[in-house]
Amino acid sequence: MPKEINQPQLPPTSAIDSVTNVAFENWFEYPVRSQPHHTDYAGIVWHGTYLTWMEEARVECLRSIGIEFADLVALGCDLPVVELSIRYHQSVKLGMPVLVRTRMAEVTGVRMNWDYTLVSPDGQDLYITALVTLVALDREKGKIMRQLPPAFQDALAKISGSRKIR
Distance, CA of 73 to CA of 165 (rounded, Å): 22
pLDDT in tens, 110-142: 999 999 999 999 999 999 999 999 999 999 999
> Is 40 designated active site?
yes
SS3 11: coil
Amino acid identity of 54? M
Per-residue confidence (pLDDT) for residue 15, from 0 to 100: 41
pLDDT at 120: 97
Nearest of 143, 126, 152, 129 to residue 63 by alpha carbon:
152
Q: What is the pLDDT of residue 27?
A: 92
CA dihedral over 150, 61, 114, 37, signed as positive or negative: negative
Q: What is the predicted pLDDT for the residue at 161?
A: 52
Distances (CA, A) of 148 to 58, 100, 110, 137, 140: 17, 26, 6, 9, 15
* Residue of 40, 71, 78, 138 marked active site: 40
Report, as ranges of residue numbers, the positions in the chain whose pLDDT lies below 50: 1-22, 162-166
